[in-house]
């Protein structure tokens, strides 16, 4: 078992797998099944691993690895699941990390066919199957979005709506609170500062603006 903690600010974008498709790879009589999945936490990654272990409970090995963002750190984990140390989990993790994927878990299941592959053969077999699983799943970029709350005198609602339209924000909700208008809107991270600056300027800083949430899409 290998676990590595790397400090990293995930930043404005990151890559992960876009779907989950099981692949099959036969090497010298051993059958290998690989599957990759996106996961937003260590708990979800381990839950997925447990599900695959249950699905392939009769297999000789369910080797796994994941790379997950957690509290400004990248957690890299690999488990050989009974195979010789460093022969299986590490090459799976390498397929994830060389593509700079985050929030990604891969499990490669092996049904032993009677022919020993040796350390080098295992490294190639597990790495190749993990590669096939990632390719089958596909890769997508996730972009950071911010959710903002705008609150102010009704006289300025037209100014705010005009800027939200200009910056192509997604307006989620409009209403009233304490006699003032309230607007909730979502927009890409790289637009937020310019939008806030313009709204403050054209309303003489009469609008209360708060970022209420951040998420990736």
The model's pLDDT over 65-107, given as tens digits with 9 standing for 90+, comes to: 999 988 778 899 999 999 999 999 999 999 999 999 999 999 9
Residue 40 and residue 115 share a domain: yes
- What's CA 127's distance to the chain center, in Å? 21
pLDDT score at 133:
98
Q: Which of 102, 121, 137 is the last residue of a domain?
A: 137
Residue 205 in tokens: 């800083």
Question: What is the Cα 57 distance to its own chain's centre?
Answer: 27
Q: Are residues 31 and 108 both part of a single domain?
A: yes
Predicted confidence at residue 25, as pLDDT, reads: 97
**Do residues 67 and 19 both lie within one domain?**
yes
**In the prediction, which pLDDT does 160 show?**
97
Residue at which a domain ends, from 137, 169, 199: 137
Looking at residue 150, its pLDDT comes to 97
Q: Last residue of some domain: 76, 108, 137?
A: 137
d(CA 181, CA 174): 7
Phi, psi of 29, deg, nearest 5: 80, -15
74, two tokens:
């990248």
Is the same domain home to 115 and 159?
no
- Nearest residue to 123 via CA among 113, 134, 131: 131
Residues (pLDDT < 50) of the chain are 7
CA-nearest of 182, 138, 179, 136 to 157 is: 182
pLDDT at 5: 60
Q: Are residues 121 and 52 in the same domain?
A: yes
- Cα Dmax for the chain: 79
Do 48 and 123 sit in the same domain of this protein? yes
What's the confidence (pLDDT) of residue 216?
Answer: 84
Shared-domain flag, residues 28 and 126: yes
Tell whether 124 and 150 lie within a shared domain. no
pLDDT on residue 2: 60
Q: What percent of the chain is modeled with pLDDT above 90?
A: 87
Q: What are the helix (H) ranges across 62-175?
A: 89-97, 118-137, 157-166
Report the Cα 183 to chain-centroid distance in Å: 29
Instruction: Say how many domains are in the chain.
Output: 2
pLDDT at 6: 53
Same domain? 65 vs 150? no
Residues 6 or more apart whose CB falls under 8 angstroms from that of 3 comprise 75, 76, 77, 78
One domain, residues 61 and 91? yes
Say which CATH number the domain at 115 has. Answer: 3.30.230.30
Domain region containing 41: 2-137
What pLDDT score was predicted for residue 168? 95
Same domain? 76 vs 155: no
pLDDT of res. 73: 82
For residue 195, the SS3 value is helix
Prediction pTM value: 0.79
One domain for residues 35 and 129: yes
For residue 204, what is the domain's CATH number? 3.30.70.240
Q: Using CA atoms, how far apart are residues 104 and 34, in angstroms rounded to an integer?
A: 13
Q: How much is the pLDDT for 10?
A: 61
């Amino acid at each position: 078992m290998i676990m590595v903690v790397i400090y990293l600010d995930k930043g404005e974008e990151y890559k992960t797998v876009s779907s989950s498709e099981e692949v099959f790879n036969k090497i010298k009589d051993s059958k290998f099944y690989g599957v990759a999945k996106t996961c937003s936490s260590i708990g979800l990654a381990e839950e997925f691993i447990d599900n695959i272990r249950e699905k392939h409970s009769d297999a000789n090995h369910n080797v796994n690895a994941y790379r997950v963002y957690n509290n400004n750190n990248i957690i890299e984990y690999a488990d050989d699941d009974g195979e010789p140390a460093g022969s299986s989990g590490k090459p799976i993790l390498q397929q994830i990390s060389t593509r700079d994927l985050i929030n990604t878990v891969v499990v490669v299941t092996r049904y032993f066919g009677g022919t020993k592959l040796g350390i080098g053969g295992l490294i190639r077999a597990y790495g190749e199957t993990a590669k096939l699983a990632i390719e089958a799943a596909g890769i997508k970029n996730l972009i950071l979005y911010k959710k903002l709350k705008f609150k102010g005198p009704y006289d300025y609602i037209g100014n705010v709506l005009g800027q939200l339209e200009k910056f192509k924000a997604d307006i989620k909700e409009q209403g009233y609170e304490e006699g003032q208008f309230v607007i909730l809107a979502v927009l890409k991270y790289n637009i937020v500062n310019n939008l806030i600056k313009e709204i403050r300027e054209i309303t003489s800083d009469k609008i209360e603006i708060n970022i209420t949430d951040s998420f990736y899409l």
